[in-house]
């Protein structure tokens, strides 16, 4: 995949580029907002890793111009300043995700993978946490044995897979699994999660409970 890293700090840019190159991506690098803006006008990227603090026009402006051109390119914003202010502003401007500096390499890789998957063709089958996921058929295989999932369990798994390492509150899950004919209660969510957990347990994937709050997908990718 083609990725663009926009970061003015040489050390960090080099690290990011190296991580992404090793993961098999083609990486372009820009050190200024203007350069990034020009690259984004001319070329298509699957993902932009965008630092907020840039020497000329800041990352938010680059993002604003990108969305103004109706581009749907995934954008992962890196913030170093005031985490809360920047994350809210970034998401408002159409960032797909954010990371606050400093972050661990693992976290960065997980976020990049999740974002790239979001943009990928749904037909692709991929393996995750010891199981193979066939998004087109809405089926998974654990230890090469097919496992049947109900539509609701599939929706739940899909939600978790697109939010690795992220906590999903019960409210959030209910909102995502909401259908017109049925309102999901917190208890119902617990039941669905528990069933899904049992079905994928052999693969070594873990759905961790955050007491009194929700769940977190802890499966390590690839």
Partner 1 sequence: MSDEPPRPPSIRRRLLVFLISSLVLMVSGAAIVTYWVAQRSANDAYDRSLLDPAFDIADNVNVDATGAHVDLPQKALEALVYDQVDKVIYQVRSPTNAIVDGVNDLPPPQDLSGEPHIFFDGMYRGEAIRVAAVRTPNGFVVQVGETLHKRNRLVGEILVAELVPTLLIAVGSIALAWLGISRGLIPLEDLRLELSNRAPRDLRPLATAAVPIELAPVVNAFNDLLDHLRGASTMQQRFLANAAHQLRTPLAGLQMHLELLFRRDLPPDLRSELERMHSATVRASRLANQLLALAKAESVPDKSREFENIDLRAVADTAARDWAAKAIAQNVDLGFSLERAEILGDPLLLPELVDNLIDNALRYIGGGGSVTVGTGSIDGVPYLSVEDTGPGIPLSERSKVLDRFYRIAGTRGEGSGLGLAIVQEVVDRHEGTLEITDGAGGRGTCVRVMFPRKRERG
Residue 16 touches partner 1, criterion: CB under 8 A? yes
Nearer to partner 1, 147 or 174 (CB): 174
Nearer to partner 1, 85 or 175 (CB): 85
Residue 214 touches partner 1, criterion: CB under 8 A? yes
- Euclidean distance between CA atoms 157 and 140, whole angstroms: 10
Residue 82 touches partner 1, criterion: CB under 8 A? yes
Nearer to partner 1, 103 or 178 (CB): 103
Residue 38 touches partner 1, criterion: CB under 8 A? no
Give every CB contact of residue 188 below 8 A, 6+ residues apart in sequence.
Answer: none
Among 26, 38, 41, 84, binds partner 1 (CB under 8 A): 84
Q: Which segment (65-73, 130-138, 149-157, 162-170) binds partner 1 by CB under 8 A? A: 162-170
SS3 170: helix
**Kind of pairing, strands 2-6 and 47-51?**
parallel
Give every CB contact of residue 178 below 8 A, 6+ residues apart in sequence.
Answer: 184
Residue 101 touches partner 1, criterion: CB under 8 A? yes
Residue 103 touches partner 1, criterion: CB under 8 A? yes
- Euclidean distance between CA atoms 166 and 48, whole angstroms: 20
Among 80, 93, 116, 188, binds partner 1 (CB under 8 A): 80
**Dihedral over Cα of 152, 220, 201, 190: its sign:** negative
Q: Which segment (105-113, 128-136, 149-157, 185-193) binds partner 1 by CB under 8 A? A: 105-113
- Euclidean distance between CA atoms 137 and 46, whole angstroms: 24
Rounded to the nearest 10 degrees, what angle do helices 59-68 and 83-92 cross at?
A: 10
Q: Are the beta carbons of 52 and 60 closer than 8 angstroms?
A: yes
- Euclidean distance between CA atoms 60 and 49, whole angstroms: 12
Residues between 138 and 157 that touch partner 1 (CB under 8 A): none
Residue 26 touches partner 1, criterion: CB under 8 A? no
Residues between 43 and 72 that touch partner 1 (CB under 8 A): 51, 53
Q: Which segment (41-49, 78-86, 113-121, 181-189) binds partner 1 by CB under 8 A? A: 78-86
Q: Which segment (89-97, 130-138, 159-167, 191-199) binds partner 1 by CB under 8 A? A: 159-167
């Amino acid at each position: 995949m083609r990725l663009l890293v926009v970061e003015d700090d040489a050390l960090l840019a080099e690290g990011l580029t190296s991580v992404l190159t090793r993961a098999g991506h083609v990486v372009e690098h820009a050190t200024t907002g203007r350069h990034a803006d020009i690259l984004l006008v001319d070329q298509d990227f699957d993902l932009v890793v965008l630092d907020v603090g840039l020497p000329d026009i800041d990352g938010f402006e680059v993002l604003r111009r990108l969305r103004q051109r109706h581009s749907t390119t995934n954008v992962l914003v890196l913030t170093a300043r005031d985490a809360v202010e920047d994350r809210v502003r970034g998401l408002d401007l159409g960032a797909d995700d954010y990371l606050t500096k400093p972050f661990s390499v693992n976290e960065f890789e997980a976020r990049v993978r999740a974002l790239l998957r979001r943009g990928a063709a749904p037909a692709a089958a991929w393996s995750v946490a010891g199981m193979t996921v066939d998004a087109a058929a809405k089926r998974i295989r654990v230890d090469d044995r097919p496992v049947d999932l109900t539509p609701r369990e599939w929706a739940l798994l899909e939600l978790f897979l697109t939010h690795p390492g992220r906590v999903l509150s019960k409210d959030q899950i209910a909102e995502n699994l909401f259908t017109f004919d049925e309102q999901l209660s917190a208890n119902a969510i617990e039941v669905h999660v528990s069933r899904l957990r049992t079905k994928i347990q052999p693969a070594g994937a873990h759905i961790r409970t955050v007491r009194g709050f929700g769940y977190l997908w802890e499966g390590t990718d690839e």
